[in-house]
């Protein structure tokens, strides 16, 4: 059924629960269908993961829960899982004949709410409604929590970040009163029927998500700007993998205000933020990609030439293949040194770290090698963003990479210092996993690239956005030479080391979400051009580690700037939009910021 969740159900919950079963094994598909029907559930079956995703997207709010097999020919079950979780935020149950601990763990890591072993008994299916119910309840709680946190953040804004963070994570929200209010508000809702607790879902289109990202980045950037380099640095050190630098600072209300979307509520933003954070937090911690943050270093483009050498590095994807990295090679457009643009230190760039979006070990960015295709991508959202597949490419981001977020470096960034930054790109980037994003040193120099405009620079320097052409082929990644990002190729997953080097540079870095980077990578891989990364990135980001759509898929996609496909891969909420607007250059930038901020420890 389409429409909002509150589609009428004559039966009492959980009867009528709308289940989507995905399994390439026809016998099991039939069995499960029969079993679920016997439980009075409403069943839809699908033997292809792709089909299932299409179906889910078509009928937003048309399903309550998804049951999927782990091993499917067209798409890895885990990828599907990620997609679903990010895009639709539905509970997903995984099934397999293989009950090996590592597999089960992987399922859980990817966000599965349960893992069933075949042969499955009907009694196991009878209780799946609990996952739906639980999610509803948690959603409400999260929103409440978000609001509380927001209050807290606002109160603590400006103080030592570390302290703030620690206090925050300590759970010492002093907005007790507010929490109470919020709780009261929810108490009024009728929780008797869990289904009614869910409000109509907001469709997070690419555009909307971009706005969101931009807002978050803006906030995060502002926050970072206010922090001293040391603060940020130490924060980073303390927090390690989890980058929640700006988390505490980024509250839904603020985001909402910045977004200025009249019909959007704070609650919508809060839950979106939550999902995003969850996504990021789910990124695999093993050597696969961790939420690679694409940190876009934004060079203060205050210099006359507005292109700040922005080393956007989206070392999102750990493109393991050199090819990938090659693509990103710095296009050498503008030497960083030109007009006193600060050079990006590679180290810095590392910070950008690619988003581990995809934990794909497979990270084989096949498509990267075809830059030419990318060009077309920039034009439209159609870039085939390398759908989440890129995630795969990112493959090996491990947590250290995460740390890379250049957030740490942020302190160093003195946005104003445009010229002092020395980008030692070479070094830094080498280690970076394939960088998906490209730093744009210039503002729109390449069509299709998202211009990265330093949001904060007083000058009109543009923020360099990671114009990571998401779908566009590697070309897009040509990071302008200034952008150290490009050198990420073959960067080791652990960027961490290098990021710190950034501190010496007064670069304003804009950290791009790894996701974005990852997306970019995806895009890169797919040769899509700049593809509006936003969308893709979003997708990627959203997907978090789920993002990863199959590499194979990505590869295929990349070739056709079929944004649809790409989008398909990208979990992002933006799925609907499927279009990236170049106008949202900030997206990329914002992403990193947000991610970082959003990552809740």
Name the CA dihedral angle for 224, 161, 514, 315, rounded to a multiple of 10 degrees: 80
Question: From CA 331, how far away is CA 322, in angstroms rounded?
Answer: 16
* CA 26/CA 581 separation, integer angstroms: 41
Which residue's CB is nearer to another protein, number 96 or number 570? 96
Shortest Cβ distance from residue 96 to another protein (Å)?
A: 7
Least Å distance between CB 130 and another protein?
22
Segment interacting with another protein (CB under 8 A) among 7-15, 117-125, 306-314, 551-559: 117-125
What is the number of other CB atoms lying within 10 angstroms of the CB of residue 171?
10
Q: Of 516-535, which residues contact another protein (CB under 8 A)?
A: none
Query: CB of residue 177 vs another protein: minimum separation in angstroms?
Result: 54
> How many C-beta atoms surround the C-beta of residue 261 within 10 A?
16
State the nearest-atom distance from the C-beta of 27 to another protein, in Å. Answer: 4
- E strand or H helix at 181, and its extent? helix 176-187
Taking the complex as a whole, the smallest distance from the CB of residue 25 to another protein amounts, in Å, to: 6
State the number of binding residues for another protein (CB under 8 A): 18
Residues in 144-173 that interact with another protein by CB under 8 A: none
CB of 100 to another protein, least distance (A): 11
Pair of tokens at residue 416: 């104003």
**Separate counts of helices (H) and strands (E) for the chain:** 25, 8
Q: Which 448-477 residues touch another protein, going by CB under 8 A?
A: none
> Which secondary-structure segment (H or E) carries 509?
strand 508-510
Residues from 70 through 109 that contact another protein (CB under 8 A): 71, 96-98
In whole angstroms, the minimum distance from the beta carbon of 95 to another protein comes to 9
Pick the closer one to another protein by CB: 115 or 191. 115
CB of 511 to another protein, least distance (A): 38
The interface mask with another protein, positions 5-44, x = CB under 8 A, is --------------------xxxx-xx--xx--x------
Q: Which of 352, 374, 366 is nearest to 518 (CA)?
A: 352
Strand partners, 159: none
Residues 237, 243, 247, 250, Cα dihedral to 10°: 110
Containing H/E element for 232?
Answer: helix 229-239
Please identify, using beta-carbon distances, which residue of 15 and 97 lies nearer to another protein. Answer: 97
Q: Decide whether 119 or 171 has the Cβ nearer to another protein.
A: 119
Closer CB to another protein, residue 33 or residue 183? 33
Considering only CA atoms, which of 449, 519, 525 is closest in space to residue 480?
449
Closest CA to 539 of 563, 555, 560, 511: 563
Residue 44, beta-bridge partner list? 20
Applying the rule CB under 8 A, the residues between 43 and 72 that interact with another protein are 69, 71
Minimum CB distance to another protein smaller for 96 or for 436:
96
The token pair at 447 is 């069509």
Of 118 and 199, the one with the shorter C-beta distance to another protein is 118
DSSP E strands: which ranges in 71-143? 92-96, 114-117
Contact 419, 430 (CB under 8 A): no
Query: 30 vs 177, which CB is nearer to another protein?
Result: 30
**Closest distance to another protein from the beta carbon of 37 (Å):** 8
Which string of DSSP letters, residue by residue, matches 236-287? Answer: HHHHTT---TTTTT--HHHHHHHHT-TT--HHHHHHHHHHHHHHHHHS--SS
The Cα–Cα gap between 471 and 126 comes to 42
Between 123 and 190, name the residue whose CB sits nearer to another protein: 123
**Least distance to another protein, CB of residue 112, Å:** 17
69 by DSSP, 3-state: which?
A: strand
CB closer to another protein out of 71 and 228: 71
User: CA angle, corner 312, sides to 307 and 317, nearest 5?
Assistant: 155
Q: Which is nearer to another protein, 121 or 177 (CB)?
A: 121
Q: What part of residues 118-147 is at the interface with another protein (CB under 8 A)?
A: 118-119, 121-122
Q: Would you say 383 and 472 are in contact if contact means Cβ atoms under 8 Å apart?
A: yes
User: Minimum distance from CB of 64 to another protein (Å)?
Assistant: 22
Question: What residue ranges bind another protein (CB under 8 A)?
Answer: 25-28, 30-31, 34-35, 38, 69, 71, 96-98, 118-119, 121-122
């Amino acid at each position: 059924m389409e429409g909002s969740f509150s589609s009428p159900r004559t039966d009492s919950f959980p009867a009528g629960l709308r289940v989507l079963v995905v399994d390439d094994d026809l016998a099991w598909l039939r069995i499960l269908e029969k079993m679920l029907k016997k439980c009075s559930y409403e069943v839809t079956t699908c033997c292809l993961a792709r089909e299932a995703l299409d179906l889910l997207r078509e009928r937003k709010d048309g399903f309550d829960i998804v049951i999927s097999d782990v091993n499917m020919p067209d798409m890895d079950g885990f990828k599907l899982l990620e997609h679903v979780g990010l895009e639709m935020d539905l509970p997903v149950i995984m099934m397999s004949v293989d009950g090996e601990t590592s597999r089960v763990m992987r399922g859980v890591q990817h966000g599965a709410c349960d893992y069933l072993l075949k042969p499955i008994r009907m009694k196991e299916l009878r209780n799946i409604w609990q996952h739906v119910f639980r999610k509803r309840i948690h959603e409400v709680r999260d929103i409440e929590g978000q609001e509380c946190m927001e209050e807290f953040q606002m109160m603590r804004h400006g103080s030592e970040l570390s302290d703030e963070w620690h206090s925050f994570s300590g759970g010492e929200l002093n907005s007790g009163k507010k929490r109470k209010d919020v709780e009261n508000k929810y108490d009024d809702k009728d929780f008797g029927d869990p289904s009614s607790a869910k409000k109509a879902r907001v469709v997070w289109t690419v555009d909307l998500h971009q706005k969101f990202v931009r807002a978050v980045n803006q906030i995060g950037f502002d926050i970072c700007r206010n922090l001293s380099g040391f603060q940020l640095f130490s924060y980073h050190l303390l927090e390690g993998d989890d980058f929640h630098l700006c988390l505490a600072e980024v509250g839904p209300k603020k985001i909402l205000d910045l977004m200025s979307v009249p019909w959007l509520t704070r609650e919508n933003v809060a839950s979106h933020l939550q999902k995003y954070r969850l996504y990021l937090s789910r990124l695999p911690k093993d050597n696969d990609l961790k939420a690679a943050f694409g940190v876009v270093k934004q060079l203060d483009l205050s210099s006359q030439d507005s292109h700040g050498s922005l080393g956007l590095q989206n070392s999102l994807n750990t493109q393991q293949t050199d090819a990938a990295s090659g693509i990103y090679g710095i296009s050498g457009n503008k030497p960083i040194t030109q007009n006193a643009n600060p050079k990006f230190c590679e180290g810095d760039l590392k910070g950008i770290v690619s988003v581990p979006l995809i934990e794909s070990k497979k990270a084989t960015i096949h498509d990267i090698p075809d830059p030419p295709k990318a060009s077309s991508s920039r034009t439209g959202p159609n870039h085939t963003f390398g759908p989440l597949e890129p995630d795969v490419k990112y493959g090996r981001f491990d947590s250290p990479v995460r740390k890379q977020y250049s957030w740490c470096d942020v302190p160093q960034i003195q946005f104003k210092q445009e010229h002092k930054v020395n980008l030692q790109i070479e070094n830094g980037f080498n280690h970076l996993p394939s960088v998906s994003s490209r730093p744009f040193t210039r503002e729109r120099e390449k069509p299709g690239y998202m211009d990265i405009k330093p949001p904060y620079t007083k000058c009109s320097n543009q923020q360099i956005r990671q114009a990571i052409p998401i779908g566009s082929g590697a070309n897009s990644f040509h990071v302008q030479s200034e952008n150290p990002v490009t050198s990420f190729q073959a960067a080791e997953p652990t960027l961490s080391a290098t990021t710190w080097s950034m501190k010496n540079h007064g670069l304003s870095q804009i950290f791009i979400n790894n996701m974005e980077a990852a997306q970019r990578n995806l895009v890169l891989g797919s040769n899509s051009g700049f593809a509006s990364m936003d969308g893709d990135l979003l997708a990627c980001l959203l997907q978090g580690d789920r993002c990863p759509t199959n590499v194979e898929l990505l590869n295929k996609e990349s070739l056709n700037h079929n944004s649809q496909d790409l989008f398909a891969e990208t979990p992002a909420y933006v799925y609907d939009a499927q279009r990236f607007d170049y106008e949202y250059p900030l997206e990329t930038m914002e992403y990193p910021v947000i991610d970082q901020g959003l990552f809740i420890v």
